[in-house]
Amino acid sequence: MTPEEREVLEFINEKIREEKGTRVKPTDTIKEANLDSFGYTVLFMELDDKYGYFGDVPEGSDPFEFIDWENTTYAEVIQKCL
């Protein structure tokens, strides 16, 4: 992992820890953080605030409808943040 990727992963894991979830690796899928729906909302809103995660979502759309909760890995989340 690059230093930038490591930084994003550390940020993700810090937010997951704050929301009482399970630490993740890049190969884990989103759901493996074991957060409740509020925890996932907090995580992704924080990613958007810091990294512009939802920057490609059309205005007026629900950004969460564009997330494949079952199949997206944290490596993919990290790449979208960079």
Scan for tokens 């909760």, then name that residue: 69
Which H helix or E strand runs over 48? helix 37-51
Number of domains comprising the chain:
1
Distance CA 66, CA 61 (A): 9
pTM of the model: 0.93
DSSP 58: P
11-30: average pLDDT: 98
Scan for tokens 């997206």, then name that residue: 72
Range of the domain at 15: 3-81
Per residue in 23-81, pLDDT tens? 999 999 999 999 999 999 999 999 999 999 999 999 999 999 999 999 999 999 999 99
As to burial, measured by CB atoms within 10 angstroms (0-12 exposed, 13-18 middle, 19+ buried), residue 8 is buried
Distance CA 73, CA 61 (A): 23
